[in-house]
Amino acid sequence: MNLAGARVLGSNSSVKRSKILQHHLCDRIAMPSFRHRAQALSESEKSQIKPDFSFGIVADIQYADIPDGHSYHGTPRFYRNAKAALRRAVSMLREGSIPLSFTIQLGDIVDGNCKENAEKALDGILGELNAFGKPVYHMLGNHCLYNLDRELLHQKMEIPNLPADGGSYYSFEPHPSWRFVVLDSYDVSLPGWEPSHPRYQLALEWLKKNNPNENKNNPQGLEGVERRWVAFGGGASPEQVAWFKQQLQEASAKKQRVMVFSHLPFQPGTAPNPCLQWNYEELLDVMRGSSCVVATFAGHAHQNGYVRDEWGIHHLVLPSVLETPPGRDCYGHIKVYGDKVKLVGTDCMMSLDMSLGRKVLQEAA
């Protein structure tokens, strides 16, 4: 998808939108321009300047060994096909003409419906991802935590540099000029913690304060972004927010640029409001207080979404493997240059060129 012809909101808005993409299903869109596979890109990409590094990306695999079904909104879900679609994606990323250093998986690696064989399903999907032959960086989504222990997930996913508080946030440096920060969207949440745990108790406190419904998964009566206060959501603890701020300070001191990854979206307009992270405003304030953040990437909403805010940060939400019909594809790779970042999506995943903001370039000079 080419996002030329940018649309900007009026001056009274706090967000400048290059274009908002809210395609809930790839089979609802006329897709000819999306159907470019890695082989078709090889010749044109060879002619471009070599990127500093490149990596693969995939979102919301949500595999389960169960018959196909539907979301709460009636969207078809292809549970068993998710493994086949992932296998094809890994093969194309591994064998494509662009050397990839690693892959990022944006959470919800298995579906919550695989209750009795969740660990077996997880092992199977990790095996498919490991066939990539390069590092795979993971984050946790709500579906990961419905049936699997957080500590077990950390171990099997080999998540590095975890904090002592049991959270699932970390960072790594894929290149001397870049720092990637992976946030834990379910650091404060009901899924993933015992009811006696302080993070569970804090989540319950936030939900009771902000959602008056008896069923906390129901946003009925809530308006606009307040609809994010649902029990399948989550947020960042004060400890994680402080750590995030420190990460950006360290990156600025080292003249590094930053990409931020999370299962839940941060930016209103990129996804339906119930999909937003609970304390997204606090996290955005941290990003906007620094000049080093280039882009954020999230999943969860199962659709393409994009907003560039008035601070010049690109906010992307990527679609799900789960809801990609059999025979279709949903994955991408990202090429990182000195002055831009380029997402090359395949089939159902959008493509996008993202320039680095002036402040980011000045900060890193």
d(CA 143, CA 125): 14
pTM over 0.95: no
pLDDT of residue 359: 61
Give the model's confidence band at 35: pLDDT under 50 very low, under 70 low, under 90 confident, else very high.
very low
Q: Which two tokens mark 69?
A: 């079904």
Residue 345 phi, psi dihedral angles, 5° rounding: -90, 155
pLDDT of residue 202: 98
The DSSP letter of residue 354 is: E
Q: How much of the chain is helix, strand and coil, in % rounded to 5?
A: 30, 20, 50
Instruction: State the average pLDDT for the chain.
Output: 88
Please give the residue that has the higher pLDDT: either 45 or 203: 203
Q: Classify strands 305-308 and 314-317 as parallel, antiparallel or unpaired.
A: antiparallel
- The mean per-residue pLDDT over the stretch 198-209 comes to 97
pLDDT of residue 364: 62
| Alpha-carbon torsion (285, 273, 328, 139), positive or negative | positive
Give the model's confidence band at 360: pLDDT under 50 very low, under 70 low, under 90 confident, else very high.
low
Residue 274: enclosing H or E segment and its boundaries?
Answer: none
Q: Classify strands 53-58 and 314-317 as parallel, antiparallel or unpaired.
A: unpaired
Phi-psi region of 325 (alpha: psi -120 to 50; beta: other; left: phi over 0): beta
pLDDT of residue 43: 45
194 exposed, middle or buried (CB, 10 Å; 0-12, 13-18, 19+)? exposed
The residue with tokens 């321009």 is 33
Residue 71 has pLDDT above 60, yes or no: yes
Residue 42 has pLDDT above 70, yes or no: no
CATH of domain 26-364: 3.60.21.10
Residues in the chain: 365
Q: SS3 of 239, please?
A: helix
pLDDT of residue 115: 85
d(CA 275, CA 166): 24
CA 122, distance to chain mean position in Å, is 19
pLDDT of residue 55: 98
User: Residue 268: CB partners within 8 Å, gap ≥ 6?
Assistant: 15, 225, 276, 280, 307
pLDDT digits (tens, 9 = 90+) for 136-173: 999 999 999 999 999 999 999 999 899 999 999 999 99
pLDDT digits (tens, 9 = 90+) for 255-309: 999 999 999 999 999 999 999 999 999 999 999 999 999 999 999 999 999 999 9
pLDDT of residue 96: 87
Give the model's confidence band at 98: pLDDT under 50 very low, under 70 low, under 90 confident, else very high.
confident
Strands (E), the chain: 53-58, 69-70, 76-77, 103-105, 136-138, 170-175, 178-182, 257-262, 293-298, 305-308, 314-317, 330-336, 340-347, 352-355
pLDDT digits (tens, 9 = 90+) for 7-26: 233 333 444 444 444 333 34
Comparing CA positions, the residue from 251, 338, 249, 260 lying closest to residue 294 is 260
Q: Assess contact for 29 and 78: CB atoms under 8 A.
A: no
Give the model's confidence band at 37: pLDDT under 50 very low, under 70 low, under 90 confident, else very high.
very low
Please give the residue that has the higher pLDDT: either 365 or 105: 105
Q: Which two tokens mark 92?
A: 């194309």
Strand partners, 332: 57, 345
Task: Give the strand order in the sheet containing 103-105.
Answer: 136-138, 103-105, 53-58, 330-336, 340-347, 352-355
